[in-house]
Amino acid sequence: MGRVRFIGILAALVGLSVVSAAAHHSFSAEYDSNKPLKLTGKVIEMRWSNPHAWIYINVSGKDGKVVKWAWETGGANALYRRGWRKEDLVAGTVVVVDGYQARNGSTTANATSITFQDGRRLFAGSSNPNAPK
Amino acid sequence: MSAPASFDLPIPPPEKGAPAPPTIKRLSDGKPDLAGFYMPDGGGGNYGLGKHEQDFLTPGGRGIIVDPPDGTLPMQPWAKAEVKSRQLPERGYDDPTAHCFVAGVPRSTYVPAPLQILQPPGYLVILHERMSWRSIPLDGRPHLPDEMRLWQGDSVGQWDGDTLVVETTNFNGKTWLNEVGEIVSHAQRVIERFTPINGDRINYQATVSDPLVYTRPWTVAFALNRQKEELLEVACHEDNQDLQHLKDVRDEARAKARTNSTR
């Protein structure tokens, strides 16, 4: 683990850095508090975009059917300051993502955190109040 | 420009063993040199200016209103009703920042994003990370003509001792004060006070008068803390998929309302 990444993760974990974690508008309008989700899947693509970044994962169901899920996170800056790095999120990486599903019931969700196979957990820079600021 | 009263913020005690904060740097004319990077300690004002608990995806806030003393916005009844309406999911699409418009004043200062202050001769310039800026002339010029209406308003500033006092008028009334839809109109007038208390901290306060919305002026106050970290880029229009989601939520609510009204 590189020094820069280690510092980033440490900062995210202990909440040292006061980062721009928030959305540009209320996520409450889009996502449903009654639909919490936790899914394990393989990264298809990490899109470092604005105003919010997106991570797309393939999730295999019990029936063997693979479903593509789009997870919205905070902006690219918020993720970077929380320790997210491009090299950790190459296609095929297995991750656990948790958050809340969209109100419209589509396979879209707001991510609150991502956990890697080695146990590292990074907050997703969303405006979720349970994530450290 | 008549400046409102100053509200002192509590100054946190220094951490044990930490070096004393640096003294205020000065420019050659003796004015404080505020240039540098800062993180606002906005206290959750972007999710409600008064004290409030977290609610699902809306973070809580400690409350940054120092006047009125009860810490609540002195809104007229119609404005309270409008704020409530703006909090419906189908009104999420109406939030100007969802469309990547600038945050306005004073919201630009308490959105949780860093800012940079520059002080070229005759100006104070604030660069906000969410890619907006304010260029504040200090040469005593009058405001723009009344018919010119702007998202960030028209700001002019002057020094009052070590405090930079900035008056902003000429707003277009389109901004929201935060994600929960607290209101200002085009009649808004803001007086901000930037008071450095040491080399690492500026006490900031903003007094908002808006007779169309409020029964009296109100003031928020919080600190801007110097940081080493610089600004990054926020290209808000790049991949703004929220707008379509928010529109879907709105359209669905409208369709439901139409169905109900034709029954």
Answer yes or no: is B114 within a domain: yes
Q: Looking at chain B from residue 125 to 164, which residues have their Cβ under 8 Å from any Cβ of chain A?
A: 129-130
In-domain check, residue A9: yes
Whether residue B162 is contained in a domain is answered as yes
**Is A88 domain-assigned?**
yes
C-alpha distances out from residue B180 to A33, A74, B56, B215, B250, Å: 17, 18, 13, 20, 16
Q: Of B89, B112, B240, which is closest to A29 when you measure between CB atoms?
A: B89
Residue B1 maps to a domain: no
Which residue would you say has higher pLDDT here, B8 or A82? Answer: A82
Asked if pLDDT for residue B41 goes beyond 70, the answer is yes
What are the φ and ψ backbone dihedral angles of B243, each rounded to 5 degrees?
A: -60, -45
- What is the tally of structural domains in chain B? 1
Alpha carbons A15 and B248: distance in angstroms, whole number = 35
CA distance B92 to B86: 7
Residue B26 maps to a domain: no
Contacts of B237 in chain A (CB under 8 A): 50
User: CB contact, 8 Å: B196 with chain A?
Assistant: no
- Contact across the interface for B91 and A77, Cβ inside 8 Å: no
For the cut 50, the answer to whether the pLDDT of residue B29 exceeds it is: yes
Contact B46/A22, CB-based, under 8 Å? yes
Measure in Å the smallest separation between the Cα of B28 and chain A Cα atoms. 33
User: Residue B7: inside a domain, yes or no?
Assistant: no
Distances (CA, A) of B129 to A26, B63, B95, B113, B117: 19, 23, 19, 6, 11
pLDDT band at A14 (very low <50, low <70, confident <90, very high): very low
**Stronger pLDDT, A18 or B167, i.e. the higher one:** B167
**Using the beta-carbon criterion (under 8 Å), do A24 and B91 form an inter-chain contact?**
no
Domain membership of residue A114 (yes or no) is yes
Q: Is the pLDDT of residue A10 over 90?
A: no
- Return the pLDDT at B239: 85
Flag whether pLDDT at B146 surpasses 90: yes
Instruction: Give B191's strand partners.
Output: B167, B207
In a domain, A75, yes or no: yes
Domain at A98, CATH number: 2.40.50.140
What is the number of domains present in chain A? 1
Write out chain A residues lying below 8 Å of B43, CB-based.
none
Structure tokens at B149: 């209406």
pLDDT in tens, A46-96: 999 888 999 999 999 999 999 999 999 999 988 998 899 999 999 999 999
Establish if B43 touches chain A: CB-CB under 8 angstroms.
no
Residue B101 DSSP symbol: -
Q: Is B18's pLDDT higher than 90?
A: no
CB contact under 8 A, A50 and B236: yes
> Which residues on B lie below 8 Å from A30 (Cβ)?
89, 92, 242, 245-246, 249
d(CA B83, CA A59): 39
On whether any CB of chain B is under 8 Å from the CB of A52, the answer is: yes
Structural contact between residues B227 and B202, judged by C-beta atoms closer than 8 angstroms: no
Q: What is the pTM of this model?
A: 0.87
Q: Would you state the structure tokens that stand for residue A7, as one six-digit string?
A: 């510092």
**In the A/B pair of chains, how many CB contacts fall below 8 A?**
126
Residue A53 forms part of a structural domain: yes
Q: Quote the pLDDT of residue A94.
A: 98
Q: Does residue B110 carry a pLDDT above 80?
A: yes
Q: Which domain holds residue B60?
A: 36-262
3-class SS of residue A91:
coil
Give the single-character DSSP code of A128.
Answer: -
Q: Among B95, B130, B248, whose Cβ lies nearest the Cβ of A26?
A: B95
For A49, the domain range is 3-16+35-123
| Strand-pair partners of B166 | B157, B192
B54 and chain A in contact, CB less than 8 A: yes
> What average pLDDT is seen over chain B?
94
